[in-house]
Amino acid sequence: MTPSDQATPLRGAGRGGRRRARLPLWLVGVAAAIVALVIVVLVLSSGSKALTKEEFIQKGDAICAAEDPKIGSALDPLPDPPTQENLPQFVQGLNVALPLLQSELTELRRLEPPKADQAIINASLDDFGRGVQRMGEALRAAEARDLNGFNTAIQDATRLFDSAGGKARDYGFQECGKQG
């Protein structure tokens, strides 16, 4: 074979040879990125299976059953009614309960509800999340020894938790939204 019979990358082959073309390097990079993106999407979509309603309730109730007793043990011993003198006890109890509430909310939000039920689940979790935020505000008020601010935030949090719990019970949860 003579040098003129070998293909040149940009000009093609000599007489009687096949033409070989090179793709620009940037186009190869774009194609590789698209292929990688498609693979990632396929892997992620195959791994996130929506739960059935029963599976969702079971997993959610397991989270609540694990976290709620810890939250209760931090809040149940607190005196009633709150007073200026006992606000430091609320600071202590809320400092324990608030991270547990935040953790429970995060874990519940990680569950993927059935598509048909997303609106009601999101409404319940949104109420729960706003209740957690108000508990944080109650903590800050207690730290500042602001009894009125504390009482207002606790009342709001209680109302939001009651709303979230009612929606959860209506959906079918046993542990999440449990009263008393």
pLDDT in tens, 108-161: 999 999 999 999 999 999 999 999 999 999 999 999 999 999 999 999 999 999
Return d(Cα 82, Cα 149) in angstroms, integer: 12
Residues 6+ away with beta carbon under 8 Å from 29: none
Looking at the domain assignment, is residue 153 inside a domain?
A: yes
Verify that 29 and 64 share a domain, yes or no. Answer: no
Is the confidence at residue 7, as pLDDT, over 90? Answer: no
Number of structural domains (the chain) is: 2
Verify that 109 and 144 share a domain, yes or no. Answer: yes
Cα-based distances in Å from 163 to 49, 92, 94, 127, 178:
29, 26, 21, 7, 12
Strand partners of residue 20: none
Verify that 80 and 12 share a domain, yes or no. Answer: no
pLDDT digits (tens, 9 = 90+) for 36-52: 444 443 334 444 577 89
pLDDT digits (tens, 9 = 90+) for 48-94: 577 899 999 999 999 999 999 999 999 999 999 999 999 999 999 99
Return d(Cα 98, Cα 108) in angstroms, integer: 15
Verify that 95 and 10 share a domain, yes or no. Answer: no
Domain of residue 43 covers 3-47
Verify that 70 and 20 share a domain, yes or no. Answer: no
Taking the whole predicted model, whether its pTM rises above 0.85 is answered as: no
CB of 61 within 8 A of CB of 176? yes
Mean pLDDT of the chain: 82
CB of 105 within 8 A of CB of 128? yes
Verify that 67 and 138 share a domain, yes or no. Answer: yes
Q: Give me the helix-helix angle, 118-143 and 147-171, nearest 10°.
A: 160
Verify that 21 and 67 share a domain, yes or no. Answer: no
